[in-house]
Amino acid sequence: MNVTRNLGLGMNKAKSAKSGRHETSRGKVRVISGDALQMLPTLESESVQCCITSPPYWGLRDYDHSSQVGSETIPISYVENLVEIFREVRRVLRKDGTFWLNVGDGYARNGGTGRCGPNARVGNTKKLIQKRNCKVPDCWGLKDRDLMGMPWRVAFALQADGWVLRSNITWIKKAPMPESVTNRPSNATEEIFLFSKGTNYYYDNEGYREPTGANLRNYWMIGPDASAKPHPAAFPRELARRCILLGSRPGDIILDPFSGSGTTGVVAQELRRKAVLIELNKDYVKQSEDRLSKDVQETLWV
Ligand SMILES: C[S@@+](CC[C@H](N)C(=O)[O-])C[C@H]1O[C@@H](n2cnc3c(N)ncnc32)[C@H](O)[C@@H]1O
């Protein structure tokens, strides 16, 4: 397989040389290693039909890179960074394109580290919150244990930046992470927002329907994938599948600027779409390439 073959997913070569990007291709999927903020400007304007992504959640996991999103000291900087990155996504989207954003919430916390405090170590998960000094961020009037409402803060900021907010889909997790809380219900949902670039956009109402044949509703019950995944925050293939079927046609280009283990690319390939993936952490870039290579022999198409 020629992994450097040009797939016709145009890019600006001048900017490419400057940014020192590293890129490979598997089938019809380009995997770009680097910071989304640096790499997105190298993509051609209005070349992508649909963006599906899940950025790191603020203050949660440590992805071991100085440019990682999610490690900002205050959450307002996280919102600002996402707005800036997704502004570039808007530029590369076709006029009738859509953007599907899965973003999670978190609690403002204050307290000690150790076995029992609000920032107690949980298993072997590397948590950003454990690296901070457990001070409530000086932002939005947050108090200890306040739910930040981050998904909606991000959604409103994106709306103010020019995106049209078309739907909030509640992802109901069939097998949520157990939480040992006793003073509130444990969390079992996340938000997926559907944004469009303009008021007229491509949405295939027949692409995915309720089992009864009715119009798809805005709550999706989806369980985790059966296969064990080394990425700690991969989303289920079914989530990407629904967004791709609703937001694109075969042959269209799908973008994921926080692609992790490459789920969006794997599903795009299965559904005969092209894809561009951007990921900062080289281990996850390698994981995506391996996952895509496994599937590519069966799904390679022209
Ligand atoms: C929630 S995970 C995405 C998981 C992905 N949906 C999957 O199924 O594997 C977010 C990813 O964003 C990456 N990331 C963090 N900051 C980034 C940045 N500035 N540019 C590109 N990727 C970044 C992290 O390394 C992490 O793999």
Residue 191 has pLDDT above 70, yes or no: yes
d(CA 6, CA 196): 29
d(CA 4, CA 91): 25
Residue 183 alpha carbon to ligand 1 centre in Å? 31
Q: What is the model's pLDDT at position 6?
A: 32
Asked whether 40 lines ligand 1 (CB < 6 A), one says no
pLDDT tens per residue, range 248-293: 999 999 999 999 999 999 999 999 999 999 999 999 999 999 999 8
Residue 280 alpha carbon to ligand 1 centre in Å? 7
CA-wise closest residue to 111 among 76, 147, 143? 143
- Using pLDDT thresholds of 50, 70 and 90, give the confidence band for residue 118: very low
Q: What is the DSSP string of the chain?
A: --TT---S--B-HHHHHHHT-EEEEETTEEEEES-HHHHGGGBPTT-EEEEEE-PPPTTSB--S-TT-TT--SSHHHHHHHHHHHHHHHHHHEEEEEEEEEEE---B---S--SSSSTT---TT--BGGGTS--PPPSSTT--TT-B--HHHHHHHHHHHTT-EEEEEEEEEESSPPP---SSSPPP-EEEEEEEESSSS----TTTS--TTSSPPPSEEEEPPPSS--SSTTPPPHHHHHHHHHHH--TT-EEEETT-TTTHHHHHHHHTT-EEEEEES-HHHHHHHHHHHHHHHHHH---
Q: Would you state the structure tokens that stand for residue 153, as one six-digit string? A: 């803060």
- Using pLDDT thresholds of 50, 70 and 90, give the confidence band for residue 131: low
Residue 116 has pLDDT above 70, yes or no: no
Which mutation among 256, 258, 261, 266 tests ligand 1's pocket best, with the greatest number of atoms within 8 A of CB? 258
Q: What is the model's pLDDT at position 163?
A: 98
**pLDDT, average across residues 173-196:** 93
Residue 191 alpha carbon to ligand 1 centre in Å? 17
Strands 253-256 and 274-279: parallel
Strands 29-33 and 274-279: parallel
Residue 233 alpha carbon to ligand 1 centre in Å? 9
Closest atom of ligand 1 to 68 CA is 16
Instruction: State what percent of residues in the chain have pLDDT above 70.
Output: 82
Q: What is the model's pLDDT at position 295?
A: 63
**136-150, 171-185, 263-277 — most confident range:** 263-277
**pLDDT, average across residues 8-27:** 55
Nearest CA to ligand 1 atom 15: 68
Nearest CA to ligand 1 atom 27: 260
Structural domains of the chain ordered from first start: 3-300 (3.40.50.150)
Query: What is each CA distance from 53 to 5, 127, 188, 302, in whole angstroms?
Result: 25, 21, 19, 26
Q: What is the model's pLDDT at position 111?
A: 62
- Using pLDDT thresholds of 50, 70 and 90, give the confidence band for residue 4: very low
Q: What is the model's pLDDT at position 76?
A: 96
Asked whether 35 lines ligand 1 (CB < 6 A), one says yes
181 or 168, higher pLDDT: 168
Residue 230 alpha carbon to ligand 1 centre in Å? 13
Q: Would you state the structure tokens that stand for residue 186, as one six-digit string? A: 């444990």
Asked whether 293 lines ligand 1 (CB < 6 A), one says no
Asked whether 235 lines ligand 1 (CB < 6 A), one says yes
Q: Say what the pTM is.
A: 0.89
Q: To the nearest whole number, what is the mean pLDDT of the chain?
A: 86
127 phi and psi, to 5 degrees? -115, 135
